Chains A and B, each alone.
Chain A
Amino acid sequence: MAKTKTIYEKSNGLSDAHLSYCPGCTHGIIHKLVAECLVELDVLDRTIGISSVGCSALNYDFFSCDMQQAAHGRAPAVATGIKRVKPDSIVFTYQGDGDLASIGIAEAIHAAHRGENVTIVFVNNAIYGMTGGQMAPTTLIGQKTTTSPDGREEAHSGLPLKISEMMATIPGATYIERVSVHNPKHVIKAKKALKKAFEIQKNKQGFTLIEFISTCPVNWGMKPKDAVDWAVDNMIPYYPLGVFKDKTNEEAN
C-alpha cells in the first residue's frame, strides 16, 4: 500500500463538534479562518472568543479556545470587560449583522472609540438568519425578507448601513477591512486580513474589525451557488471590498 501523507486537516482551533450551520452558508469557512489564524499566531491557548446571538450563537462549542456567550449585541462590551482584566489575552467577538449593525451598534462603536485591543469578526449576510430571515440594517434595497415582503424600500427603512465605512471614521479604531469568501482567491485574501487584525491585537496596537460578506442561501431562498453569485452581483457592488482604515500603515508613513 502506498504511503499516505496528510496534506490538509482541520485546524486545532476548531473542536470536533458538528457545526449547526445550513448547507452553503459561509460561516464554516470563516470559522476555519479564525481558527487557523489563532493557531498560526500561536495564541490559541490564551484566546477568549465571544459568541453573540444569531446563527453563530452556538459557536462557543465550535472553537477550541475559551469562549463566552454574550447577550444580543453586547459582545464588544463583554470583550472589553475581559480584555481590561486580561490584557495579555487575545479576545475576539464573532457577530452577525443583526447583532452588530442593529441591536449592538452602540457597543461596537464604543469599543472602537476606546480603541479596545480586541478583534471583531463581523459577518454580513444582509439578513437575520437565526430568527428566520427578517430585514437587517444591511438588507439591500429591493431585497425581500420576512419583514420586508415587498423588498426593502428606502422611503420606509432608509439605505443599508455600511459598517466598515462607518467604523473607519472612528478615530480610536486601528484597522478596518471588508473581505469576501466567495471563491478561493478571496478566502486567501480574507485570511490575510484576519491574520493582520489578530497580529495588530497581539502587538497591542488597538481595535480591529474585519467585515466578511457572507451568504444565507436558506433565507435568501437560493441554492448555495446562486447565493454566492447574488452576493458577488449585489452585495459587493454596494459593500466594496478593501481596507477602510489602517492606522499601522498611517504610522509607518
Chain B
Amino acid sequence: MAKVLMKGNEAMALAAIKAGADAFYGYPITPQNELPEYMSKHMKEHGRVFLQSESEVAAINMIYGAAGAGARVITSSSSPGIALKQEGISYMAGAELPAVIVNVMRGGPGLGGIQPSQGDYKQITRGGGNGDYYLYSLAPESLQEAVDLIKESFDIADYFRNPVMIAVDGLIGQMMEPVDFELETPKWDLPKKTWATDGNQKGRDKNIINSLYLDPNDLEKHDLKLKKKYDEMKRDHQRYELINMDKADIAIVAFGSTARVCRTSIQLLEEEGINCGMIRPITIYPFPSKAFDEIPKSVKDLLVVEMNTGQMIDDVKIVNEGKLPIHFYGRSGGIVPEAEEIVEKVKEIMGGE
C-alpha cells in the first residue's frame, strides 16, 4: 500500500485499529486529543468500542475491566493524565492485564505546558505507580516507527500479560509524515486468554481478575512471578539502534524525537570531520544495556541528550559502570533542541580533551 500523509496522533489511532483494538477509553488532554477524536469516529465504523470517560482515573479502570474481560484495549493521554492513570496501571500490572497506553508527553511538573517533552522518562521507566512492576516501554522516533510499534505492542502486551507504554512526545503526536500501514510487523505466539472474565462461564471454572494477596507469602510469590517477566524483557527483548558507531570518537545517547534531531547533528559534525555516533534506545524499559556492550574502543565520551533536565542519564550511568565520561545536554519546558546546539556541545566536549 502507498504511504499516507497523516498526523502522528491520528496515525497511532489507525495503527491501533489495524492491530485489532476492541476498545478505546480515554479523556481529553493536549497534545494527544486527535487520537481519541480519530477513535471516536472510526472505532464505531469497525463495530468496536469508543468511550470518553469522566476522568483519566475512570479511563484506566475501564481499560482494566475490558482487558480483564479479554478484549484488546488501548488508552492514550499526556503526562499529567498518565500520572492520574498510575493507580490503574499498577493494578493492571498486579492483576496481569494487557493493554496499550500511549503517552504523548508534554512539559511538567504539575500542569507544566503543552509543548513536547521527555519529562516522563522516570514516570514511564520506574513503573510509575505503587509496587514492584514495570511497563514494556517503546519510544519511537518517527511516525512510521510509532505505527509499526503500536501494531506489535498489542501482541507484546498479550504475551507478557502486562501493559505496554508507547512513549512519544508532543512533536510526534502533532507532526505529519508519510506512513505505510501495511508493513509487516512481528507476530507473537499468543496463548488463548483462558484467564479472562469474559461473561461466558459455560464449561469452565470461574475466573478472577485480582491484584490482592493478603498473605505475605502469596504476595511475595506473586511479585517474584512478575519479576520473571521483567527479567525476560531485559534478557530477550531489549531494542535499540546503533548509528554511525563504527569509528565514532564520541557517542550520543538519545531516544524519540531527540534522537531524530541528533541524527542531523551527527551529519553536521561529519561535515566538519568529527566522528559522532549514537545509541538510540527503542525500549526505554527495558533499558538497552546490551547496546553499551557494543561500544567500540574509539569512543571516548558519551553525551546524553534529552528533552528534560536529565533523567535517562541515570540509566546510562548504571550501564556505563564508570567506564566512560558521561556528559549531558538537555532542553526542557517544551523546547526542542536544535541540531546546532548539540553540535556545539559535542565540539565543546571534544575540544576540552
Contacts and interface: CB of A to CB of B under 8 A. Distances in A.
B200 interface: yes
B76 to A, nearest CB: 15
A46 B200 contact: yes
Given A74-B57, A74-B61, A80 B201 contact: no
A61 B49 CA distance: 30
A218 interface: no
Interface in B181-232: 197-202, 206-212, 214
A106 B95 CA distance: 23
Given A68-B197, A82-B69, A86-B69, A74 B58 contact: yes
A234 B49 CA distance: 45
Contact of A57 (B67, B200, B212): B212
Contacts of B207: 66-67
Contact of B49 (A15, A77, A85): A85
Contact of B209 (A57, A67, A79, A89): A67
| B interface: dominant SS | mixed
Nearest to A15: B206
Interface of A: 15, 44-48, 50-51, 57-58, 60-61, 64-71, 74, 77-82, 84-86, 88-90, 106-107, 109-110, 113-114
Given A84-B23, A85-B49, A65 B201 contact: yes
A60 B197 CA distance: 12
B53 interface: yes
B31 interface: no
Contact of A60 (B22, B88, B201, B210): B210
Contacts of B309: none
B278 interface: no
Given A46-B199, A46-B200, A82 B61 contact: no
Nearest to A45: B201
A72 B296 CA distance: 52
Contacts of B23: 81, 84-85
Interface in B33-84: 49, 51, 53-55, 57-59, 61-69, 71, 73
Interface residues of B, number: 40
A181 to B, nearest CB: 25
Nearest to A66: B197
B87 interface: yes
Contacts of B133: none
A58 B212 contact: yes
Given A66-B208, A68-B65, A69-B208, A88 B199 contact: yes
A209 B64 CA distance: 22
7 contacts: A51-B210, A65-B201, A67-B206, A74-B61, A78-B65, A85-B73, A88-B199
A45 B200 contact: yes
Top 4 closest pairs, chain A to chain B, by CB: A89-B199, A81-B65, A81-B62, A66-B197
A34 B209 CA distance: 20
B199 A66 contact: yes
Given A46-B201, A66-B197, A66-B207, 20 more contacts: A45-B201, A48-B199, A65-B206, A66-B201, A67-B207, A67-B209, A68-B197, A69-B95, A69-B208, A69-B211, A70-B65, A77-B58, A77-B61, A78-B61, A81-B63, A81-B67, A81-B73, A84-B66, A85-B22, A114-B51
Contacts of A60: 208, 210
Nearest to B67: A81
